[in-house]
Amino acid sequence: MFLQQLINGITLGSTYALIALGYTMVYGIIQLINFAHGEVYMVGAFTGLIFVNMFGANIALAILGAMICCMLLGVLIERIAYRPLQGSSRLSALISAIGVSIFLSTLVVLIRGPQTTSYPQMFKIVLYQVGPAKISNLQILIMIISAILMIALHLIVQKTKVGKAMRACAQDQDAARLMGISVEKIISLTFALGSALAAAGGVLVGIYFNAVFPTMGMMAGMKAFSAAVLGGIGSIPGAVLGGLFLGIAEVFGVAYLSSSYRDAIAFSILILVLLIKPTGLLGKPIQKKV
């Protein structure tokens, strides 16, 4: 029972981690809670579905297609809704982000209707016995794909020149600009990378729960944001850690407490973290400037 819940929790947690990475990266660079990120994840799940249904794509192609589409979407959102607000108050940017989020989810409702659509079965589910618990090939696949994407992101951020530029922008945008870094391009790139990860998460969750619906982004986005805050917003390893922790906590909460309070678990953790240690598990202390 315990091991089984742990496996389920890690599977769910790795998808939260994928979404949380986008929040944390964007926050790290422009200090904005990208409220539309959950909707990007939802659009990712839908585009994956379209690729599967219309072009008969397999799982890898569906994920790749969704990632590319959402990259464009993420960059577009940044261009239209956030870039014109550079330099204005954080409140304005946040409200604009909320606007984009509502726009996207309503748009998908208008196009596809509010009902839940299921993914077609793409491969046969095989269950493996691991001690007292069972793990399905789908769960293994989700963990592997998430791990690959996270390692790829880590390599991009830590080992490449663009990654170095991203880290520079997160530290000090003005100094980065003086060093000849095109801050605008780096911000676009951050949005592209974060959105791509969210899209991958969307397709994986769509296949795992066999359900995609237009309002799925809101709750998942909120939970992933909680994960990012839990791990320490702005910190990439923190987002992964927070995502896994949250996924496991949620599965255990449902198993041992009550399933009707499922969604309250993430929010309670979020509020507790904000009250006890707002910088999260791996975050740096924030200094208040006068």
Partner 1 sequence: MQVLVLVFINIILAISLNLVTGFTGQLSLGHAAFMGIGAYTSAILTLKASIPFLPALLLGGILAAIFGVIIGIPTLRLKGDYLAIATLGFGEILKIIELNLKITGGTVGLRGIRQETNIWVVSVAVVITIFIIYRIMKSRVGRSFIAIREDEVAAEAMGIDTAKYKVLAFAVAAFFAGIAGGLFAHFYRYINPNSFGFSRSIEILSMVVLGGMGKISGSIVGAAVLTAAPELLRSISAYRQLIYGILLVVMMIVRPEGILGDVDVKIPIQRKLEKLLNKNS
Kindly state the smallest distance separating residue 258's Cβ from partner 1, in Å. Answer: 8
Q: How far apart are CA 200 and CA 41, in angstroms?
A: 8
275 touches partner 1 by CB under 8 A: yes
Can you tell me which of 236, 249, 270, 282 binds partner 1, judged by CB under 8 A? Answer: 270
The verdict on 267 binding partner 1 (CB under 8 A) reads yes
Please check whether residue 59 is in contact with residue 181, taking contact to mean a CB–CB distance below 8 angstroms: no
Per the listing, tokens 């994840």 go with 41
The piece of 12-20, 96-104, 134-142, 203-211 that touches partner 1 (CB under 8 A) is 96-104
- Give 1 or 275: the residue with its C-beta nearer to partner 1: 275
Residues in 212-231 that interact with partner 1 by CB under 8 A: 218, 222, 225-226, 229
Q: What whole-number distance in Å separates Cα of residue 146 and Cα of residue 13?
A: 10
Instruction: Calculate the alpha carbon distances from 161 to 24, 115, 194, 248, 282 in Å.
Output: 20, 44, 18, 35, 24
92 binds partner 1 (CB under 8 A): yes
Question: Do 232 and 281 meet the contact criterion of CB atoms below 8 Å apart?
Answer: yes
Whichever of 159 and 288 has its CB closer to partner 1, that residue is 288
Segment interacting with partner 1, rule: CB under 8 A, options 83-91, 165-173, 185-193, 203-211 = 83-91
Binding mask 19-58 for partner 1 (x = CB under 8 A): ------------xxx-------------------------
Q: Which of 58, 118, 148, 263 binds partner 1 (CB under 8 A)?
A: 263
Sequence-ordered alpha helix ranges (H) in the chain = 2-30, 37-55, 59-77, 90-112, 137-159, 161-171, 173-178, 183-209, 216-231, 236-256, 262-276
Q: How far is Cα 55 from Cα 158, in angstroms, rounded to an integer?
A: 36
162 contacts: CB under 8 Å, gap ≥ 6: 156, 186, 189
Residues that bind partner 1 (CB under 8 A): 31-33, 80-81, 84-85, 88-96, 98-107, 109-110, 218, 222, 225-226, 229, 260-261, 263-264, 267-268, 270-271, 274-275, 278, 288, 290
